Amino acid sequence: MPLPWAMRGLRNGVLTSRYPHRSDRYFEEFPGTVEVRSDHEPANPAGGLGSQAALDAICPTGALVARDGMAGGIAVDRGACINCGRCVAERPDLFAWRSGADLADLTRRALVARAGPGSERGVREVRDRLAGRVRALRRSVHIRHVDVGSDGSDEWEIQALVNPVYDVHRLGIFFTASPRHADILMVTGIGSAGMHAPLQRTRQAMPDPVVVIAVGTDAVSGGLFGSGYASDGGVGNLVDVDVWVPGSPASPFSILHGILLALDRVPPRRPGVRDQHGGGAR
């Protein structure tokens, strides 16, 4: 009689994601971050929320930014957003969940999602410089992960990358315990004082070229801690970051998207995918 696990495997078939070689529904429909709705009323875009104080009363991390002269008057800083959903719950006419796990970007400023079209100035140059550095790393890369003060949630998502669903080994992406064997430095956590020196030693032990990826809102901006006694406001002040992956925690697909972005291997997003709750196509 066949073993039960063998029969179950035959029934389930292959469960490993086909991303990035093929589209993945979960990747495209995952409610990854919050955006200002593209269909809000332009005559009164702030809806009484034009002041920074009013926005701060909604968002616990100050991720909602009021700016004069900007389309809609409001921006969402994805690097500070912890995905609590409070702004969507209180003002669904202004804010909505954006679908898609493709959240990583090459600059910290690019994580500020503006209402209306944004500027791509400088992005091409940053992308080209990074592509030139990682040209030799496209076939196989090794990642050294360093936790500099995380709550553990980002680590669970990183660990999921090696399970049978994501299986990043199929893409030539591996994790290593030795910085001397690593091509990518992946950093999580707020950047606590006790981890400054270990992070610097890890970076110095890695052979160039090195790509640094900040994973999670804590690493990007300090999250709920922000800048102060416990945090430096993220890891950008400790190491030169090449790719920023927001999320609290960042999902496995978002982390994988950040790795592929660093390696210049991101596939084009399938057209026609729409944001949830009435957002526009991306």
pLDDT in tens, 1-60: 557 767 776 676 678 999 999 999 999 999 999 998 877 654 444 455 667 888 889 999
- Give CATH for domain 123-262: 3.40.50.12280
> CA torsion 60→64→68→69, rounded to 10°?
180
Q: Bridge-partner residues for 74, per DSSP?
A: 66
Measured between alpha carbons, how far is 282 from 201 in angstroms, rounded to an integer?
A: 40
Q: Are 185 and 203 in contact (CB under 8 A)?
A: yes
Close Cβ partners of 127 (under 8 Å, ≥ 6 residues apart):
106, 264
pLDDT at 71 over 50: no
Lowest mean pLDDT: which of 34-38, 62-66, 117-121, 124-128? 117-121
Q: Which amino acid appears at position 98 of this protein?
A: R
Chain segment 190-244, per-residue pLDDT in tens: 999 899 999 999 999 999 889 999 999 999 999 888 777 777 788 999 999 999 9
If we measure between CA atoms, which residue out of 86, 84, 83, 74 comes closest to residue 112? 74
Write down the pTM of the prediction.
0.85
